[in-house]
Amino acid sequence: MAVSIGKYIKLQGKKWSTFQLSKMIMALVLALGFFMLSALWFFSPPETSHHRLSSVRHTAFLSDGLGKRGDQWVEFISWEPRAFVYHNFLSKEECLYLISLAKPHMEKSTVVDSETGKSVDSSVRTSSGMFLNRGQDKIISNIEKRIADFTFIPIEHGEDIQILHYAVGQKYDAHYDFFVDEYNLKSVGQRMATLLMYLSDVEEGGETVFPAAKGNFSSVPWWNELSECGKSGLSIKPKMGDALLFWSMKPDTTLDPTSLHG
């Protein structure tokens, strides 16, 4: 992940827990897996048609919520990995509300030891964070329902929303959200997708970067606005209220190495 500079809040999406294929809705051809919901909060700051970035506008999903959201549409970002941005997924009021809930409870972020399952400190992840309880109030319940409506994945198959805060110079090095270790696969199952909800804007940096993604990424309209780190792959600039959905598994249920991100 690129280092953020200036003011910015990013809400990391929710992760979904193990579910059976028979429970999948419509054309979601996915194997056992769960969806990760997280909220990241930052303070500081010629291609082929197959890989062409494009934008698709459509009728927004209807859902109750705090405040008013602007014009909503889903933008296609990439097929490798499969990634989409839902613009104005959250209202400004919802972003500020989530930040206010999280501030008193932030702790240093950790990573999970693949052998023991215990949380340990690591230099690859220097943010702070906390988890919200599922359905802890009406506002959170509305956001969780909105996520389920967007992804076609039931609320009960997702992890609790995690809110992360990145100060100036903090980061999370490139990593996968899917599991390859026996401990996590047995205890929680496989992760198949992640939704990142951005809670603030930044002056510079703070991009979500996919260094292994495929495509001509210098053609994106925001290329000249990216940091040097952001130009190392497919990059999504944080914008308050936007949500980035990307899949860690391919439609055939195999793991997607192009979902590497940081």
- Rounded to two decimals, what is the model's pTM? 0.76
Q: Are 170 and 198 in contact (CB under 8 A)?
A: no
Rounded distance, CA 253 to CA 262, Å?
A: 22
Mean pLDDT, each 10-residue run in order, the chain (262 residues): 37 40 25 54 41 42 76 96 98 98 92 76 86 96 96 93 89 89 86 96 90 87 86 92 97 96 94
pLDDT digits (tens, 9 = 90+) for 130-186: 999 999 999 999 999 999 999 999 999 999 999 999 888 887 888 999 988 888 888
| pLDDT for residue 39 | 66
Q: Are 197 and 236 in contact (CB under 8 A)?
A: no
Hey, what CATH topology would domain 80-202+241-247 get? Jelly Rolls (2.60.120)
| pLDDT for residue 83 | 97
Q: Give ∠ CA 254-257-259 in degrees, rounded to 5.
A: 105
